[in-house]
Amino acid sequence: MTDSRVFKTIGVVGLGTMGAGIAEVFARNGFNVVGAEVSADAVARGRKYLENSTGRAVARGKLSEADQAALLGRITLTADMADLKDADLVVEAVVESMEIKKSIFSKLDEIVSPTAVLATNTSSLSVTEISTANSKPGRVIGIHFFNPAPVQNLVEIVRTVVTEPGVLADVSALVEQIGKSPVVAGDRAGFIANTLLFGYLNHAVAMFEGHYATREDID
């Protein structure tokens, strides 16, 4: 039995609302975070997301100003993906484009260490197909946070048929370490939450079409 990985530095690719939220979650729990974007303008937007989100937490009394400063101090933002070289885990959180995600996972091959874990935050695309862009698909896994990541506790961990058991175990433990509730799903469209949600929504539509109740009452 191999020893569990020790995650110290977390990389996040994509600093939109979702990626910035994921970066905040890890930094809030004491991890060093490197957030990467495609340009200086995108980095500035990501920094603004982080400042606004943590600022709201301070205003609500959920975070002190000192803790906010410490949290933001643990996050390094960059427009150069090469700065992810020391990351033990990289979470990709860019737009839902298979082409863009595969391009990122291919580039990460040349940047991170052979033992680094690579994760996608996709909510709808095949983790298996994304993993084929990397030379080590066994280290690729899905970590699907829900928006807003600092608030929502549920995290779907998506394993492919080739995800290494150690990667699954270590990522599950990490998600628990940051105070989230992990559920493990196989790699199928919608995973768990969205698969259940669409069935629920379809049933609501059928009730409306059958004149069972008004649209407003069903809502």
DSSP string, 30-92: T-EEEEE-SSHHHHHHHHHHHHHHHHHHHHTTSS-HHHHHHHHHTEEEES-GGGGTT-SEEEE
123 is an active site residue:
yes
131 is an active site residue:
no
- Spot the catalytic one: 121, 123, 134, 172: 123
194 is an active site residue:
yes
- Spot the catalytic one: 126, 131, 144, 172: 144
Looking at this protein, which amino acid is placed at residue 62? Answer: K
Predicted confidence band of residue 204 (pLDDT cuts 50, 70, 90)? low
Task: Report the pLDDT value the prediction gives residue 186, as an integer from 0 to 100.
Answer: 78
Sign, CA torsion 100/105/111/112: positive
Which of the pair, 43 or 192, is modelled with greater confidence? 43
142 Cβ contact partners less than 8 Å away, ≥ 6 residues apart? 119, 120, 121, 122, 127, 156, 157, 158, 159, 185, 187, 191
156 is an active site residue:
yes
Q: What's the CA gap between 204 and 89, in Å, rounded?
A: 40
- Spot the catalytic one: 37, 126, 156, 172: 156
**pTM attached to this predicted model:** 0.85
Question: pLDDT tens across 41-100, in order?
Answer: 999 999 999 999 999 999 999 999 999 999 999 999 999 999 999 999 999 999 999 999
Task: Report the pLDDT value the prediction gives residue 5, as an integer from 0 to 100.
Answer: 86
